[in-house]
Amino acid sequence: MDSFEDFNNPQVKALPSHLRQYIVAQHYEHYTPIDQAVWRYVMRQNYSYLKDVAYYPYIPGLEKAGLTIEHIPNLQEMNDALAKIGWGAVTVDGFIPPAAFMEYQAYKVLVIAADIRQLKHIEYTPAPDIIHESAGHAPIIADPDYHQYLSYFGSIGAKAMFSAQDHELYEAIRALSILKEMPDADPAQLKAAEEQVTYCQQNMGEPSEMALLSRLHWWTVEYGLIGTLENPKIYGAGLLSSIGESATCMQPDVKKLWYNQYAVNYPYDITQPQQQLFVTETFQNLIDVLEQFANKMAFRVGGVYGLRKALESNNTCTVVYGSGLQVSGTLTDFIQYNGKPAFIRFTGPAALATDGKQLDGHGKDYHKNGFSSPVGRFKANGGLIIDSQQLDFENGIAVQGTIKNSTTQIITFENCTVTSAGGEILFDPSWGAYDMALGDDIVSVFSGAADKNTFEEIAYRPKTTTYHPTYTEKQQDLHRLYQRVRNCREQIMGHERLVDIWNQLQTDFSEDWLCALEILEILDREKQEPEVAAAITQFLTDKANQQPELKKLISDGFYLIKHPVEQSA
């Protein structure tokens, strides 16, 4: 990882080390002049259209987030602006695991993919990029009701139990999105990656808490509408950052449904336009629906239900006793009695904590072979009998040994034997000292470790890395033409140079359309070189007719030349 930069932002400074491991440097110098042109085109289109359909005033929202129409945002500028509303931002390498993404939200830090979409994916990209993350998410952060929902969702999502199938689907989607951004992806590889995503989606089994929460996140944070079914406004970042879908989503063939707890029953496909969207009347309703879902989650229900979720996950989770003791590790077995937990067993490294802080002497090194303990009440006339050193539980489990020391949460025995109600040996004296947790019940079970900074020294890392192109000399020549056009627009160079740029573009890069459109925009604004302007207009019109996939992009570009948008200083 590049050295950690906190941008002098309080929220970024507060990030724990296990989240800092996902952060990469933005490397602003890597953005090409074409990248800057893509940003500018999308942002101008967004403002032209979204000023009428976005929930909030788009330009003021951009300004409060430190963004402009004219250039890709600098992370320092964003953090300076976001700090004023209690948020921060960091850049990461594409998709990061959902649990980590949620936790960043809980810390009020926007996760922004450092890369930007290619020109061929200017309308929509399946991969997260800086347009989606910053221009989509950041402008609405200034709304106090919305950013309260966003951070609260993160705190709930960070506790959600996930499954091995969730990880497989995450890796499959990430791999597919990376392939789709490659300019010369092998068709066979692409087909195999698409088939893998489909296979994972169709073999998820019963959706985990994280999978269900991801649906709520998708239908609100990413693709949410607010207002009425007849006249909704956009607030979801996926729509706000897609110049294609932000328009098509308002068509009648995209069903509009009221957002409620049943939205969790609607899966989504990240690679396809949405078949339906959900409308909320208020942001408070989003919090209400989230509360309804959270009340059914293992971290609030606990008990046998929570332990079953931990077993299904087969990943690091934390089990919380009624005494407040937190046990983190991989749960592999439990015994129940009359519908309540009676005994739990963790295999592999485990750790004990209170209030999210690891207890001295009870880390993974000490509990490297696992942890097990009864759960429940002592017998009314039994309890701890000092002369026999035996502890009997109402559920039939018996603990016998010599007490070494004790606290309100843990009793440590030597020469200890633990037996079940049926006489099964649950702990043998030859296994060493026995630390027994105290607590009548399991009150909570949640994903991840209680003290992540000590338990998870190395966070889960994706198996793939995003694609970063290397450019040929000819491609760099095209970049230089784009930069010269920008210099002319910013009056660093005279507009008379545009004729030469156009001629070179015609000779060497006749497949390009965006640079030609930018030249036409300047000539039209300056009322210069009408014959050249007419030639460019005809060139682009012919290209739109010959290449249907460019028709809307070029047509929208023509519209913006005649109806320019500007961002106030």
**What integer pLDDT is reported at residue 495 of this predicted model?**
77
Own/partner pairs, 395-401, CB within 8 angstroms, 24+ separation = 395/337, 395/338, 395/340, 395/342, 395/343, 395/421, 396/337, 396/342, 396/420, 396/421, 396/422, 397/335, 397/342, 397/343, 397/421, 397/426, 399/374, 399/434, 399/436, 401/429, 401/434
Answer whether residue 315 is part of any domain: no
- Are residue 156 and residue 171 in the same domain, yes or no? no
Taking the C-alpha atoms of residue 245 and residue 223, their distance in angstroms, rounded to an integer, is 10
Taking the C-alpha atoms of residue 529 and residue 544, their distance in angstroms, rounded to an integer, is 23
Coil/strand/helix, residue 534: helix
Coil/strand/helix, residue 319: strand
| DSSP code for 470 | -
Taking the C-alpha atoms of residue 157 and residue 286, their distance in angstroms, rounded to an integer, is 14
**304-324: b or e for each residue (b if 16 or more CB lie within 10 Å)?**
bebbbbbbbbebbbbbbbbbe
Polymer length in residues for the chain: 569
**DSSP E strands, 236-386:** 255-258, 276-280, 317-321, 325-337, 340-354, 357-358, 371-374, 378-385
Answer whether residue 263 is part of any domain: yes
Amino acid at 386: I
Q: Which residues are 372's β-sheet partners?
A: 345
Q: At what angle do helices 514-526 and 548-562 cross, to 10 degrees?
A: 20
Sole residue written with tokens 């006793």: 321
**What integer pLDDT is reported at residue 126 of this predicted model?**
67
Boundary of a domain, candidates 174, 207, 240: 207
Query: What tokens were used for 28?
Result: 């602003």
Q: In this structure, are strands 410-419 and 442-447 parallel, antiparallel, or unpaired?
A: unpaired
| Closest listed residue to residue 47, CA positions, set 454, 569, 556 | 556
Sole residue written with tokens 């998870």: 456
**What integer pLDDT is reported at residue 569 of this predicted model?**
38
State the greatest distance between any 2 C-alpha atoms of the chain, in Å, as a whole number: 106
Instruction: Tell me how many domains the chain contains.
Output: 4
- Are residue 218 and residue 92 in the same domain, yes or no? yes
- Are residue 113 and residue 133 in the same domain, yes or no? yes
Answer whether residue 310 is part of any domain: no
Answer whether residue 298 is part of any domain: no
- Are residue 242 and residue 331 in the same domain, yes or no? no
- Are residue 401 and residue 449 in the same domain, yes or no? yes
Taking the C-alpha atoms of residue 440 and residue 210, their distance in angstroms, rounded to an integer, is 28
Sole residue written with tokens 């893998």: 196
**What integer pLDDT is reported at residue 460 of this predicted model?**
56
Task: Supply the DSSP string of 437-462, one letter for each residue.
Answer: E--SSEEEEEES-SSHHHH-SS----
Answer whether residue 212 is part of any domain: yes
Alpha helices (runs of H) in 72-112, residue ranges in sequence order:
75-82, 98-106
Taking the C-alpha atoms of residue 148 and residue 141, their distance in angstroms, rounded to an integer, is 9
Answer whether residue 186 is part of any domain: yes
- Are residue 179 and residue 202 in the same domain, yes or no? yes
Element housing 426 (H / E): strand 425-427
Q: Note whether 497 and 480 are within 8 A (CB).
A: no
Taking the C-alpha atoms of residue 358 and residue 452, their distance in angstroms, rounded to an integer, is 9
- Are residue 244 and residue 336 in the same domain, yes or no? no
| Closest listed residue to residue 20, CA positions, set 465, 463, 452 | 452
| Closest listed residue to residue 240, CA positions, set 89, 108, 57, 376 | 57
- Are residue 406 and residue 494 in the same domain, yes or no? no
pLDDT tens-digit profile of 202-230?
887 788 999 899 999 999 999 999 999 99
Taking the C-alpha atoms of residue 514 and residue 463, their distance in angstroms, rounded to an integer, is 35
Q: Which residues are 109's β-sheet partners?
A: 88
**What integer pLDDT is reported at residue 492 of this predicted model?**
78
Coil/strand/helix, residue 339: coil
Taking the C-alpha atoms of residue 519 and residue 497, their distance in angstroms, rounded to an integer, is 10
Range of the domain at 380: 321-455
Q: Note whether 178 and 467 are within 8 A (CB).
A: yes
- Are residue 170 and residue 68 in the same domain, yes or no? no
Taking the C-alpha atoms of residue 562 and residue 557, their distance in angstroms, rounded to an integer, is 9
- Are residue 86 and residue 177 in the same domain, yes or no? no
- Are residue 358 and residue 426 in the same domain, yes or no? yes
Task: Supply the DSSP string of 41-61, one letter for each residue.
Answer: HHHHHHHHHHHHHBSS-HHHH
Boundary of a domain, candidates 207, 222, 238: 207
Boundary of a domain, candidates 207, 242, 271: 207
Mean pLDDT split into 10-residue runs, the chain, 569 residues: 79 93 92 96 88 81 89 94 94 86 93 89 79 85 90 94 82 81 81 87 84 94 95 90 81 94 89 88 96 97 97 93 97 96 97 97 95 92 56 94 92 95 95 95 96 73 66 94 94 84 96 97 93 97 96 95 75
- Are residue 57 and residue 181 in the same domain, yes or no? no
Answer whether residue 2 is part of any domain: no
Answer whether residue 467 is part of any domain: no
